[in-house]
Structure 1
Amino acid sequence: MLNRLSTKHSHQFDEGNPLAQRRILIATIFTGLMMVAEIFGGILFNSMALLADGWHMSSHMVALGLAYLAYRAARHYAHDERFCFGTWKIEILAGYTSAILLMVVAAIMCYSSLERLYNPIQIHYNEAILIAILGLIVNLICAWLLHDNHHNHDSHEYHSHRNTHDLNQKAAFLHVIADATTSVLAIIALFAGKYFGWNFLDAILGIVGVILVSKWAWGLIQQTSKTLLDAEMKEPVVEEIRDVINNLNPAIQITDLHVWKVGKSKFSSILALDTTDHTLTPKIVKQALSIHEEIVHASVEINFR
């Protein structure tokens, strides 16, 4: 016997995040304007920290633009029947790509900082400091725009231990935070060089920024790749499904179980059961599983011994 928990259309698995889409567009515009100012400022005033921050910001502008396009694509194809479980993973793919881009930027920053460490040049501190502070202000504004307040509006809908993060928005947010960090490091380096003559700090703090950016990027790669590869069998929902079946009848044997994520805190599953209880029906199993709202689609197969 085979039945499904839900017959929802694919576009209903995730309705998208239009607010995040608008905010990312605004952040992209701000970031692009500041990127131009920092790159030209770094070149004109010979600041490696400022130049690195500018190029770093250029990658963030691309990443933010990618995040915006991912939202647009997800909403555009939301009713396309080819996407049998919705278009949410377009956003996850964008987040993964952004994380890879962060790693590339970290490598470029590392090379540039090492080169400047061994070949220092005179820095025009006053002008570079002004641009770096302006860049930090822009980064903080963008970070405020992109901060994910999921805990304020999702806690009533899902259990507290669920991960309700929008990974596409989180990727964009991390890009902005990484850029804000490099801005802070650039400001520290410029002030130290101006007042203490520590010109070497400009390059060293660039390397510190590389370490931080790489760490954030790696964490995001792990999160997004897990979803893209459907590596969800360690999620709490899997044990909850097992508990539901065990509570129905301890003699029921689960012979096949597959669980994968189809939206933020939304899961699909395939469940095969082996039992001697001929009164058990897919409807009974579906009703038992329905207590877990995060399971939005399931196929239930019952084999009688």
Structure 2
Amino acid sequence: MEHSQPDNDWTHSHVFNEGNPLAQKNTTRAVILTTVMMVVEIVGGYTFNSMALLADGWHMSSHALALGLSVLAYVFARRFANDSRFAFGTWKIEVLAGYTSALLLVLVAGSMLFQSVERLLSPGPIYYDQAIALAFIGLVVNIVCAWLLKDGHGHSHDTHGHADHGHDQDLNLRAAYVHVIADAATSVLAIVALIAGKFWGASWLDPVMGIVGAILVAVWAYGLLRDSGRVLLDAEMNTPVVGEIRQIIESSPMKAAISDLHVWRVSKGKFACIVGLVTDEDTSPTYFRNALSKHDELAHVTIEINRLTPDHNGGTS
């Protein structure tokens, strides 16, 4: 039996994410720079016996991996954008990459903490001049990478005057940016520790700065895990758009009560929602869909109408 196809007026695309080709290009550049500097710092850290420099190099290796993961996420999200297996598009591939990058940051923090404590208990000689030079080069590389990725770090504001803090960003690019900023911070800490050790004999400051860096990385990782995890788990019912949906329905001349409401994110700053309504008015889903259409962030709206009858038995339209 042949199935009839719906009219084109009733069908629509589920590709909500337009992609970010500039971010992909800049992230690729950052991967190359980070990988080269990673090799230099690891070799230099072992050669010159600097824990701060070695920790910076090793955790830069995870950053290089995370940045590479970000690039792959952009590639796969674009490649499978029109794949019908993805009910609401492929944007969450990028979010998943951001979450995975945050997990790598946690591992980085743990590794930095372990190695720094070990070196604090068993100190060794440090070749300060060479280590300081490499740390400065690493910082310059990190600054360049941060500049390449900076556009994805700012918070977006929607057209209705409110900002959903941290969620209207490209979370994949934000993850890459956080990795680079973590690198820059540990480079600064390494430079401070090495200079203090060279001029004031505070060799203990080298591993202590490694511990401080581990704490900073862990804090940034937590923030990224929280934001990307919330999107992956569809924990979006506390976002401002949910209140706006309720307000529009409750203030509508066509009286209806919300019996069911689900809102989740399908792209950067874009949401899908399912709204179940109970009413005794003679209305249609189209009426309420049009009422909600003024909110551009609602990219996919499904309305269900349950009509009250005199005996309170509902029907669905």
TM-score scaled by length of structure 1: 0.94
Write out aligned runs for 1:1-305 (5 A): 7-11=11-15, 13-148=16-151, 155=157, 159-162=161-164, 163-249=167-253, 251-278=255-282, 280-305=283-308
Deviation of the 1:8 alpha carbon: 2.8
State how far apart, in whole Å, the 2-side matches of 1:125 and 1:167 are. 38
Q: What is the root-mean-square deviation of aligned Cα atoms in Å?
A: 1.7
Q: Which runs of no fewer than 5 residues in structure 1 stay unpaired?
A: none
Letter in 2 for 1:92: V
Q: CA, structure 1 residues 10+224, in 2 after alignment: closer, same or farther (shift >3 Å)?
A: same
Matched residue SS, 2:151: coil
Deviation of the 1:126 alpha carbon: 0.4
Matched residue SS, 2:237: coil
Q: Which runs of no fewer than 5 residues in structure 2 stay unpaired?
A: 1-8, 309-317
Q: Deviations over 1:167-218 (max 9, x none)?
A: 0000000000000000000000000000000000000010000110000000
The share of aligned pairs that are identical, in percent, is 54
Q: Is the 2:152–2:173 Cα contact (8 Å) retained in structure 1?
A: no
Q: Is the 1:63–1:98 Cα contact (8 Å) retained in structure 2?
A: yes
Number of aligned residue pairs: give it: 298
Matched residue SS, 2:277: strand
Letter in 2 for 1:180: A
Q: Deviations over 1:197-255 (max 9, x none)?
A: 00000000100001100000001000000000000000111110101101214841110
Q: Is the 1:148–1:165 Cα contact (8 Å) retained in structure 2?
A: no
Letter in 1 for 2:178: L
Letter in 1 for 2:128: Y
Matched residue SS, 2:241: helix
Q: Deviations over 1:33-55 (max 9, x none)?
A: 00000000000000000000000
Q: Which has the larger radius of gyration?
A: 2
Which protein has greater RCO, CA pairs closer than 8 Å, 6+ apart? 1
